[in-house]
């Protein structure tokens, strides 16, 4: 479970630029117009070998009269509550604002580590601008320039130095299941149904997050850890009826799990947000099982299940490997059968394939379908080996790694799936240039 770091501050101080710099992405929108970021963005970051999740929030305006003001404040306060460490970003060019003082007062009420970084300080000569900020009672200020990288190394050294250590998980020997999905799809009902079955032995242990209690059940001699999550809501389209959403707890759970049980309300139908939730799970390399819940109240005929299955395969092409089950948490329909599927997925998720078998698969794949020429030269695939599990990850050595077309990469992954029996889990393949002459195998 990665620590959470939340970036907060008034609009237009450079939070999104800071977010992009630390996560080394361009995922957060950046614009000179204040208030571009109205909800929270999440990204994985790493510094000095320390991994953490960074949260970019909307600008804090205590007296903002905009339609989104209440929602933005809620998102910031929620981010503060969920985070392990807070970064309050200030504007070195714009100077102190009354809103900065309001936010400092809010932060004084919390006991979590808080860093005050003055952004847009592009060099040592501009550090004199820091003195004004000491007047609002901040003892330690960090001069940084997210755009030009000035001071970022020192700041990140200090930040990662106080992040909580990742707790060793005493449940590592169990199969860990995260129950995820948007609100009201029946996640808690599913967990309650599972834990209410008379054949299950149930105990509760403290979760690794501050406010979670994970449930442990034992079925046929196997232990499973059930991780409940808050529902993941979509971004709202109207100001007064904006749905409050928080994905941090879900991301924490996905970081901890082996298999994600992605619950979908079959009665409502498959939505874009269901697909987004599935995407979160895939990004984190989880095994996935798609559960079409509330099947007992779906109007159906002999073709209904196939229609749902086909729709999922069409809208979530990236999860074609994920098993699909129709269940009812209310009635218990096929609920216990979930664990048989979990066992199948987990078996593939943790499997190791011998290098000899892998290279036979690679040779046959190339014989069937040779790769395209690269600048008039033939791509040579020397050998492939598995480097990790959870999910199965392979490294293939080739003379021109960057020249492997994504379609050929997909072809090789499918060949490995077929040849190694990995039809129910995500499979990753990395292409690297061979160094030295080394022997095949």
Token representation of residue 406: 């994504």
Can you give the pLDDT at residue 61?
Answer: 54
Residue 373 lies in a domain: yes
57-88: buried (b, 16+ CB within 10 Å) or exposed (e) per residue? bbbbbeebeeebbebbbebbebbbebbbbbbb
* 3-state helix vs strand vs coil in the chain, percent to 5: 35, 25, 40
Cα separation, 372 vs 411, in Å, equals 13
Residue 170 lies in a domain: no
Can you give the pLDDT at residue 306?
Answer: 92
Residue 51 lies in a domain: yes
Q: Would you list the DSSP string of 153-203?
A: HHHHHHHHHHSPPPPP-TTTTSEEEEEE-STTSSHHHHHHHHHH-TT-EEE
272 and 234 fall within a common domain: yes
Higher pLDDT residue, 189 or 230?
A: 189
Can you give the pLDDT at residue 69?
Answer: 56
Residue 309 lies in a domain: yes
240 and 377 fall within a common domain: no
Instruction: Report the pLDDT averaged over residues 191-202.
Output: 63
> pLDDT of 137-150, one tens digit each?
888 999 999 999 99
36 and 152 fall within a common domain: yes
Can you give the pLDDT at residue 276?
Answer: 84
Residue 438 lies in a domain: no
92 and 149 fall within a common domain: yes
What are the C-alpha distances in Å from 362 to residues 373, 379, 397, 407, 418?
Answer: 18, 13, 11, 15, 11
pLDDT above 70 as % of the chain: 79
Confidence of residue 158 (pLDDT cuts 50, 70, 90): very high
Torsion of CA 345, 349, 355, 359, to 10 degrees: 60
Can you give the pLDDT at residue 43?
Answer: 78
SS3 148: coil
Q: Which of 97-106, 173-182, 213-222, 334-343 is predicted with the least confidence, judged by mean pLDDT?
A: 213-222
Q: What is the CATH number of the domain that holds 410?
A: 3.30.300.20
Instruction: Report the pLDDT averaged over residues 40-67.
Output: 71
Can you give the pLDDT at residue 39?
Answer: 43
Q: Given the structure tokens 């499973």, which residue do they identify? A: 224
**How many CB atoms within 10 Å of residue 212?**
16
Q: Which of 153-162, 314-323, 350-359 is predicted with the least confidence, judged by mean pLDDT?
A: 314-323
Of 392, 389, 380, 390, which Cα lies nearest the Cα of 416?
392
> pLDDT of 110-135, one tens digit each?
889 999 999 999 999 999 889 888 88
Structural domain count, the chain: 3
Confidence of residue 439 (pLDDT cuts 50, 70, 90): very low
Residue 202 lies in a domain: yes
137 and 183 fall within a common domain: no
Instruction: Report the pLDDT averaged over residues 344-373.
Output: 95
370 and 330 fall within a common domain: no
Of 338, 329, 336, 341, which Cα lies nearest the Cα of 294?
329
**How many CB atoms within 10 Å of residue 434?**
16
Residue 440 lies in a domain: no
Residue 44, beta-bridge partner list: 53
Can you give the pLDDT at residue 165?
Answer: 74
Can you give the pLDDT at residue 231?
Answer: 47
Can you give the pLDDT at residue 106?
Answer: 83
The residue range of the domain holding 16 is: 4-162
Rounded to the nearest integer, the mean pLDDT of the chain is: 81
- Which residues, other chains included, contact 161 with Cβ-Cβ below 8 Å and sequence gap of 6+? none
**How many CB atoms within 10 Å of residue 146?**
25
> pLDDT of 381-423, one tens digit each?
999 999 999 999 999 999 999 999 999 999 999 999 999 999 9
Most confident option among 87-96, 167-176, 224-233:
87-96
Confidence of residue 233 (pLDDT cuts 50, 70, 90): very low
Last residue of a domain, one of 303, 324, 349: 349
Instruction: Report the pLDDT averaged over residues 253-281.
Output: 89
Cα 197 to chain centroid distance, Å, stands at 31
Q: In which element (H, E) is residue 104 found?
A: helix 98-108
370 and 389 fall within a common domain: yes
234 and 322 fall within a common domain: yes
151 and 235 fall within a common domain: no
Can you give the pLDDT at residue 29?
Answer: 38
Of 299, 321, 303, which Cα lies nearest the Cα of 312?
321
- What is residue 333's DSSP assignment? B
Q: Are 2 and 53 in contact, with CB atoms under 8 Å apart? A: yes
Last residue of a domain, one of 349, 378, 401: 349
Last residue of a domain, one of 306, 328, 349: 349
Can you give the pLDDT at residue 242?
Answer: 26
Q: Are 321 and 262 in contact, with CB atoms under 8 Å apart? A: no
Higher pLDDT residue, 273 or 229?
A: 273
Token representation of residue 408: 């050929």
Q: Would you list the DSSP string of 421-439?
A: T--SS--EEEEEE--S---
Residue 168 lies in a domain: no
Q: In which element (H, E) is residue 8 found?
A: strand 4-8
Q: Which of 176-185, 227-236, 405-414 is predicted with the least confidence, judged by mean pLDDT?
A: 227-236
Of 86, 84, 113, 61, which Cα lies nearest the Cα of 8?
86
94 and 196 fall within a common domain: no
Can you give the pLDDT at residue 168?
Answer: 52
Token representation of residue 145: 């320039």
Q: Are 263 and 225 in contact, with CB atoms under 8 Å apart? A: no
Up-side HSE of residue 387: CA atoms within 13 Å toward CB?
12
Residue 281: is the preceding peptide bond cis (ω within 30°)? no
Cα 141 to chain centroid distance, Å, stands at 31
Instruction: Report the pLDDT averaged over residues 58-81.
Output: 60
Q: Are 249 and 229 in contact, with CB atoms under 8 Å apart? A: yes
Q: Is the pTM of this model over 0.85?
A: no
Instruction: Report the pLDDT averaged over residues 248-257.
Output: 75
363 and 318 fall within a common domain: no
Q: What is the CATH number of the domain that holds 300?
A: 3.40.50.300
248 and 341 fall within a common domain: yes
Can you give the pLDDT at residue 166?
Answer: 64
Q: Which of 178-187, 421-430, 432-441 is predicted with the least confidence, judged by mean pLDDT?
A: 432-441
């Amino acid at each position: 479970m990665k620590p959470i770091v939340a970036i907060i501050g008034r609009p237009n101080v450079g939070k999104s630029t800071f977010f992009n710099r630390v996560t080394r992405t361009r995922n957060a929108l950046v614009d000179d117009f204040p208030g571009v970021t109205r909800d929270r963005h999440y990204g994985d970051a790493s510094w000095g070998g320390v991994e953490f999740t960074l949260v970019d929030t909307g600008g804090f305006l205590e007296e903002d009269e905009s339609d989104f003001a209440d929602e933005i404040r809620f998102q910031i306060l929620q981010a503060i509550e969920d985070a392990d460490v807070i970064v309050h970003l200030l504007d070195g060019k714009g100077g102190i604002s009354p809103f900065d003082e309001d936010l400092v007062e809010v932060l004084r009420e919390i006991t979590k580590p808080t860093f005050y970084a003055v952004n847009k300080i592009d060099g040592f000569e501009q550090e004199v601008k820091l003195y004004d900020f000491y007047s609002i009672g901040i003892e330690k200020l960090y001069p940084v320039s997210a755009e030009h990288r000035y001071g970022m190394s020192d700041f990140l050294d200090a930040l990662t130095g106080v992040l909580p250590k990742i707790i060793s998980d005493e449940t590592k020997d169990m199969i860990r299941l995260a129950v995820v999905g948007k609100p009201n799809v029946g996640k808690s009902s599913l967990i309650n149904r599972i834990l209410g079955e008379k054949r299950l032995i149930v105990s509760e242990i403290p979760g690794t997050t501050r406010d979670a209690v994970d449930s442990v059940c034992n079925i046929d001699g196997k232990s499973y850890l059930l991780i409940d999550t808050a529902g993941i809501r979509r971004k709202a389209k109207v100001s007064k009826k904006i749905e409050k959403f928080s994905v941090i707890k879900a991301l924490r759970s996905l970081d901890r799990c082996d298999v994600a049980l992605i619950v979908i309300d079959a009665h409502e139908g498959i939505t874009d947000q269901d697909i987004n939730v599935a995407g979160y799970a895939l990004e984190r390399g989880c095994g996935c099982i798609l559960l079409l819940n509330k099947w007992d109240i779906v109007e159906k005929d002999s073709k209904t299940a196939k229609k749902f299955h086909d729709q999922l395969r069409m809208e979530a092409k990236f999860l074609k490997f994920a098993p699909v089950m129709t269940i009812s948490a209310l009635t218990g329909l096929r609920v216990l059968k979930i664990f048989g599927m979990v066992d199948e997925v987990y078996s593939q998720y943790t499997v190791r394939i011998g290098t000899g078998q892998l290279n036979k698969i690679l040779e046959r794949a190339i014989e069937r379908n040779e790769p395209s020429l690269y600048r008039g030269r033939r791509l040579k695939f020397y050998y492939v080996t598995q480097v990790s599990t959870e999910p199965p990850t392979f490294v293939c050595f080739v003379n021109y790694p960057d020249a492997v077309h994504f379609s050929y990469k997909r072809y090789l992954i499918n060949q490995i799936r077929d040849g190694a029996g990995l039809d129910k889990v995500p499979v990753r393949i990395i292409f690297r240039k061979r160094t030295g002459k080394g022997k095949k195998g």
